[in-house]
Chain A
Amino acid sequence: MQITVNGCRHSITPGTGVAQLRAELKDDAAVILVNGRRCLDSTQLHAGDRVNLLGSSSSYSPTGFDAMLRERHGTEVQQRLQHACVGIAGAGGLGSNISIALARAGVGHLIIADHDVVELSNLHRQQYFIDQLDLPKVEALSHTLYRINPQIQLELRHMRVERSNTAAIFGSARIMVEAFDAADAKADLVQSWLHLYPERPIVAASGMAGFGSANSINTTAPFTNLYMCGDGRSAVETSGSLCAARVAVAANHQAHAVIRLLLGLDPVKDG
């Protein structure tokens, strides 16, 4: 039967378990993910499973990523990031880039919701890959995030975010990120979040289509606890298609605003 191992198709005999696969392919793998989740050596494999064999025992330990970040950021900064819970609504061009930036920075807990599956038309700007076509975006993204930090805590919701389920999905997030595509969905989420949780910041985005200068994308604070990233005007309807680099500029403005908020810094200007 067919499975996927580290992104490549692989044939195994039925009854093969994780331990046997590791012994055959990468006997120094320190972390094994099956369908995006860490698993035990006794786990049995099934047709269509996506397996990641990660790291080597000499260069990787389960707490290695955290230790590496403490060394670079300092313990105080790292503890704030590691203990944070951030909600991300939408896992497209903005949400996939934001999630990856926050995971790399060591943010410990992400809640990600999106109703879509990966399509070919996403690959020009979103952080997905050919071998992930037709997978729910939240699942495909989780595979990438676990490959960055196997210790990250992810809550994945493959569903449409609506006013009625916002609190149920994102209630434990202290900071919210709006990463939708449609203007009315963006406006709806900002309203419902600040209505539900006026004291919890939301970082939203508007205006990143086309090939305008990257320098016109910035971060502003128009309301109490609302931070806006983008140029505020370049709509996909009027400015043309979305380009990977410019969308990622806006996405990383959002991710960095989140990181500055977590560190008690003003996202708009240096103190």
Chain B
Amino acid sequence: MQITLNGKTHEIDSDCTIAGLIQMLNLKAEQVAVEHNRNIVMRTEFDSCVLNEGDRIEIVNFVGGG
């Protein structure tokens, strides 16, 4: 099925969770912030949040330094 990830169309499996998507992108769950259909998602919800066709996901990846 198709979702929009960071503004671009992206093909994923139909039962994919946010945790699965983060893993697929080779990102670390503790270093990202995720917006799902314009709502912020807490890290504790990554495993349980299953994505649906047409969902809009924004993922921001943080790197160290400041």
**Chain A contacts to B: CB under 8 angstroms:** 90, 92-95, 179-184, 186-188, 190-192, 194-195, 198, 204-209, 222-224, 226, 228, 232-239, 242, 247
Complex Cα spacing A176 to B60, Å:
17
Give chain A residues whose Cβ lies under 8 Å from the Cβ of B39: 198
Residue of A nearest to B44 (CB): A191
Select which of A184, A222, A237 is within 8 A of B35 by beta carbon. A222
On whether the beta carbons of A223 and B40 are closer than 8 Å, the reply is yes
A97 to chain B, nearest CB (A): 10
**Partner pick for A183 among B38, B41, B62, CB 8 A cutoff:** B62
Contact B31 A183, beta carbon cutoff 8 Å: yes
Q: Is the CB of B66 within 8 A of A187?
A: no
Partner of B66 from A180, A190, A224 at Cβ < 8 Å: A180
Contacts A187-B32, A222-B35; A232 near B61 (Cβ below 8 A): yes
Whether A209 contacts B65 by the Cβ 8 Å rule is yes
B47-66 Cβ-contact flags toward A at 8 Å (1 or 0): 00000000000101111111
CB-CB under 8 A from A95, the residues of chain B are 66
Interface residues of B, CB < 8 Å — how many? 21
Inter-chain pairs besides A198-B40, A209-B63, A224-B35, 18 sampled, C-beta below 8 Å? A179-B66, A181-B65, A183-B30, A187-B43, A188-B43, A190-B33, A191-B33, A191-B41, A195-B40, A205-B66, A206-B63, A208-B65, A208-B66, A226-B33, A234-B63, A235-B63, A242-B65, A242-B66
12 contacts between A and B (CB under 8 A): A93-B65, A186-B62, A204-B60, A204-B62, A206-B60, A222-B6, A223-B40, A235-B63, A236-B64, A237-B63, A238-B63, A242-B65
Partner of B65, one of A223, A224, A235: A235
The chain A residue with its CB closest to the CB of B30 is A184
Decide if A234 touches B65 in the complex (CB within 8 Å).
Answer: yes
Question: Nearest chain-A residue to B31 (Cβ)?
Answer: A183
Looking across the interface, which residue of chain A has its beta carbon closest to that of B6?
A: A222
B42 contacts partner chain A, Cβ-Cβ < 8 Å: yes
Chain A facing B: main interface SS: mixed
The residues in B between 13 and 53 inclusive whose CB is less than 8 angstroms from any CB of A are 28, 30-33, 35, 38-43
Task: Give Cα A95–Cα B65 distance, bound, in whole angstroms.
Answer: 12
Closest to B35 in A: A223
7 closest A-B pairs by beta carbon, nearest first, are A235-B63, A236-B65, A194-B40, A209-B65, A181-B66, A223-B35, A183-B62
CB distance from A46 to the nearest CB of B (A): 35
From B38, B60, B62, B65, name the one whose CB has the most chain A CB atoms within 10 angstroms.
Answer: B65
Which B residues are CB-close (under 8 A) to A206? 60-63, 65
Residues on B with C-beta less than 8 A from A226 are 33, 35, 60
* Residue in chain A with minimal CB distance to B7: A222
Chain B residues whose CB sits within 8 angstroms of the CB of A184 once the complex forms: 28, 30-31, 62
Quote the shortest CB–CB distance from B27 to chain A (angstroms): 10
Contact of A237 among B32, B40, B64, B66 (CB under 8 A): B64
Are A94 and B66 within 8 A (Cβ)? yes
Q: Which residues of A contact B42 (CB under 8 A)?
A: 191-192, 195
